[in-house]
Amino acid sequence: MNIVILSRSFALYSTQSLYKAAVNRGHHVRIIDYMMCDLYIKNGIFTIYHLGEELDSVDAIIPRIGVNVTDYGSLVIRHFEQMNIFTTMSSESLIRTRNKFGSLQLLANNGIPVPDTAISWNYENLDQFVNIFGTHPAVIKLLSSTHGDGVIRSDNPKMSTALMEAFLKLNHDVLIQRFITESTGSDIRAFVVGNKLVAAMERIAQTGEFRSNIHRGALSKPVRLTKEEIHIARESAKIMGLKIAGVDIMRSNKGPAVIEVNASPGLEGIETTTRVNVAKSIINYIEQKKKGSDDGD
């Protein structure tokens, strides 16, 4: 197969891992910077050019779209979709997952447990709004963020009001979430490929830090999930329309709760922690789907 990995840089671990896995399976692979793609619609025909060269003879794409360029990245994916080229992530699922509150709305509406969460743009009511859960600490989050950026723990209502007011005045969408005390500093990343759980790890934050992101120095270790957690991870990916997803889960006194579903989850943390070749699972998934398509399934 001719596979295109949509990525800003070959130097990224995830890009390299996917490239190696595809080449090892005998595929021809190109790494394309999607921000350098030109999209054309002429006489109803869709074409894509990268640095002046038309992209043709493409069998499948693996999008690795950054948070800050979601809009253009989704347009590139949609163009490939209109050209009937297989993609591991649809343009709609990318857009759907990038809004944290919108994602939680969909998950909760489909029976997936999520932390108590609220959002508001009402400046006049912030003092009352931040007390909606009746307790602190709370977590303040930007709707579009990654690696723990724009995620702040607030220990009292006054601090929550000040943080939300500051973000809103800067025209940033922001939500407030109940702080799950019993999960302080730890969460689970469950990696789903083709509706199958392929790997899972627990991430533990450094002392004095509540954010358990690997990019912030968190430790990680393989973890065995319960049947309920496996079901929740698989269903969350399915609800968001993702065939490849990193589902972040917190263990609370009330049971597991999904805090986020990632459309372009990084591979470095999960592969180095679990020793599972997740990239190979992704390539195998593409092969299976393409074979099914060729067979008329």
DSSP for 226-277 reads: PHHHHHHHHHHHHHTT-SEEEEEEEEETTEEEEEEEESS--SHHHHHHH---
What is the SS3 assignment for 130-162? CCCCCCCCEEEEECCCCCCCCEEEECCHHHHHH
For residue 263 the two structure tokens come to 């459309």
Cα 210 to Cα 185: distance, rounded to the nearest angstrom: 4
Are the C-beta atoms of residues 36 and 49 closer than 8 Å to each other?
no
Measure the N-to-C terminal CA separation of the chain; round to a whole number of Å: 18
Low-confidence ranges of the chain (pLDDT < 70): 144-148, 183-184, 205-218, 293-297
Would you state the pLDDT for residue 126? 86
* pLDDT tens readout for residues 160-188: 888 888 888 888 888 888 888 776 678 89
Q: What integer pLDDT is reported at residue 186 of this predicted model? A: 83
For the sheet with 53-54, list strands across it: 37-42, 45-50, 53-54
- According to the model, what pLDDT value does residue 269 have? 93
State the pTM of this model: 0.88
- Per-residue CA distances from 203 to 186, 223, 229, 241, 270 (Å): 5, 9, 16, 25, 10
Q: How far apart are CA 27 and CA 57, in angstroms?
A: 13
pLDDT tens digits, one per residue of 55-72: 999 999 999 999 889 999
Distance from C-alpha of 180 to C-alpha of 192, rounded to nearest angstrom: 24
Going by C-alpha positions, the residue among 197, 177, 189, 184 that lies closest to residue 252 is 184
Query: Do residues 197 and 233 make contact, with C-beta atoms less than 8 angstroms apart?
Result: yes
| Sign of the alpha-carbon torsion through 90, 94, 97, 102 | negative
- Evaluate whether 173 touches 119 at the Cβ level (below 8 Å): yes
Of 209, 216, 283, the closest CA to residue 17 belongs to 283
**Residue 190, pLDDT score:** 97
Q: What is the pLDDT of residue 289?
A: 93
Residue from 62, 59, 37, 34 nearest 47 by CA: 37
Looking up tokens 């999607």 gives 34
Q: Which domains does the chain have, with CATH numbers?
A: 2-89 (3.40.50.20), 99-112+183-262 (3.30.470.20), 117-179 (3.30.1490.20)
